[in-house]
Amino acid sequence: WLNFGHTVGHALEQVSEYQMSHGRAVALGLLAETYLSMHLGYVQSKLIEVLEQLFDIFDIPLKLEGIQVEADALKQALKQS
């Protein structure tokens, strides 16, 4: 549980050259890992809705406006995490 969101979050921080805060990166990691869990059949889509509502309440932006993240670089960073 402690690592939930951190694998993807740390990779996002790295590929964004730390333009993204740790909290925002981990929040996006939570969402990404929940999407993956949903597609693997471990959680229901309702959990994604709940996370998105929480991020909205706490004003955590989900769009990467102004931050470039290359898919290949993200994949490589995920391998190193």
Tens digit of each residue's pLDDT (9 = 90 or more) over 19-71: 888 988 999 999 999 999 999 999 999 999 999 999 999 998 888 777 888 88
Report the pLDDT value the prediction gives residue 61, as an integer from 0 to 100: 85
How many beta carbons lie within 10 A of that of residue 43, not counting itself? 15
Report the pLDDT value the prediction gives residue 2, as an integer from 0 to 100: 67
Asked whether the predicted pLDDT for residue 74 surpasses 60, the reply is yes
Asked whether the predicted pLDDT for residue 1 surpasses 90, the reply is no
